[in-house]
Amino acid sequence: MRAERFTGTDLAQVSERARSVLGEDALILHGRANRDGGLASVEVLAATPVTVARARARLDALPLPPVFRRDDGRPYVIALVGPTGSGKTTTAAKLAVRPEMFPGAQPGLLTIDTYRVGGMEQLATYADLAAIPFEVAYDQREVPAAMQRLAATCDVILVDTPGRSPASAALTERWRTLLDAVRPDEVHLVLPATLRHDLAHHFVEQYRPARGHCGASHLLLTKLDEVPEASGVTELALAVGLPTRWVGDGQEVPADLKAAVPRLMGTFGIPVDTEPGWVRK
Ligand SMILES: Nc1nc2c(ncn2[C@@H]2O[C@H](COP(=O)(O)OP(=O)(O)OP(=O)(O)O)[C@@H](O)[C@H]2O)c(=O)[nH]1
Ligand SMILES: [Mg+2]
């Protein structure tokens, strides 16, 4: 979002100047007092309503389909991808165990585990507790059967993938092939909000659809609880430019998952008016 920064010594004066530059209806997104070498100053971040509306539109993801299962019986498939430790498994659990998340639909979980190191226990435990169907696929050939078993009872399948080390090209290719095999309808790139912006862009490049393979269609920021409110997380999401439906803001499953746009625009002090019902439960 092209918000403009205005600085001065007096908050009222700086806000007034912002309005004289951007128009009377300019929104003051942030006001902050700085103390620079003993000198007090204030900084105001302001934007026009049109700019704010554009930013929202850029972040907004399409709503989930009203009916998850397709005419041919195929469930709706949402995959979570991203670097090691970004919060993919935790987020998959948050999404799966919350009954209001996919109204009227039965969720299922699929873990694809390229390393065979038993990375699935964490998710299996959540699946067990919430009585959610759960499958593991170790390679591409196992995917269709696992998907078919899930499709017998599930309308939405959440696919958890292992954190991917970019070091090995062969591994990357194998990982890509596995992701293709689940034929995802949405691929959420899970990145911690604590990530430096340049690294976030690096990961966006790495996980882009490429060479006929599918890739990230959405951004999903986690660990919002670990960064200060005004830390530029929303700017990061806007710069990435992928639609974002959910954000994670804590370790608690499933409470710490929020609707992205109200939560992110909230960091600018823009009121939340579209919070879905499940957030308040
Ligand atoms: N503070 C905070 N911690 C989180 C959040 N989401 C996940 N975590 C924590 O981050 C750590 C890693 O989470 P995982 O879900 O295992 O991450 P992952 O992406 O599945 O990791 P790999 O499978 O190893 O790539 C765990 O300790 C989680 O509890 C969040 O929104 N906030
Ligand atoms: Mg994991």
Structural domain boundaries of the chain? 4-47, 76-280
List, for residues 130-186, the tens digit of each pLDDT value: 999 999 998 889 999 999 999 999 999 999 998 866 566 766 888 888 899 999 999
> What was the pLDDT predicted at 274?
63
Ligand 1 atom showing the smallest separation from residue 80 Cα:
19
Q: Which residues pair with 45 in a beta bridge?
A: 5, 30
Average pLDDT on 188-213 reads 92
pLDDT score of 279: 67
Q: Is the predicted pLDDT of residue 201 greater than 60, yes or no? A: yes
Output the pTM of the full model: 0.89
Nearest ligand 1 atom to the CA of 84 is 25
**Which pLDDT belongs to residue 171?**
67
Q: Which of 90, 159, 222, 249 to mutate to test the pocket of ligand 1 (most atoms within 8 A of CB)?
A: 90
Q: From the CA of 60, how far away is ligand 2's center (Å)?
A: 26
| Residues 6+ away with beta carbon under 8 Å from 97 | 126, 129, 130, 132, 253, 254
Portion of the chain with pLDDT greater than 90, in percent: 56
Q: How far is CA 12 from CA 22, 54, 87, in A?
A: 15, 27, 42
What count of Cα atoms within 13 Å lies in the side-chain half-sphere of residue 41? 10
Ligand 1 geometric centre to CA of 28 (Å): 34
Give the CATH class of 76-280.
alpha beta
Distance 30 CA to ligand 1 centre (A): 30
| pLDDT tens per residue, range 232-243 | 888 889 889 999
Determine the atom of ligand 1 nearest the C-alpha atom of 250.
32
Instruction: Compute the distance from residue 92 Cα to the ligand 2 centre, in Å.
Output: 9
Nearest CA, atom 29, ligand 1: 251
- What's the CA angle centered on 226, arms 62 and 45, to 5 degrees? 70
What is the strand order of the sheet 107-112 is part of? Answer: 134-137, 107-112, 156-160, 76-81, 186-192, 218-222, 246-248, 257-259
**Which tokens go with 178?**
């596995």
CB 18 within 8 A of CB 26: yes
Q: Is the pLDDT of residue 118 over 70?
A: no
Atom number of ligand 1 nearest to Cα 93: 15
Q: How far is the CA of 121 from the centre of ligand 2 (A)?
A: 10
Residue nearest to atom 10 of ligand 1 (CA): 87
Ligand 1 atom showing the smallest separation from residue 190 Cα: 19
The 10s digit of each residue's pLDDT in 62-99 is: 999 999 999 899 999 999 999 989 999 999 999 999 98
Residues with a CB atom less than 6 Å from ligand 1: 84-90, 119, 162-163, 222-223, 225-226, 248-251, 256
Strand pairing category for 186-192 and 76-81: parallel
pLDDT given at position 117: 61
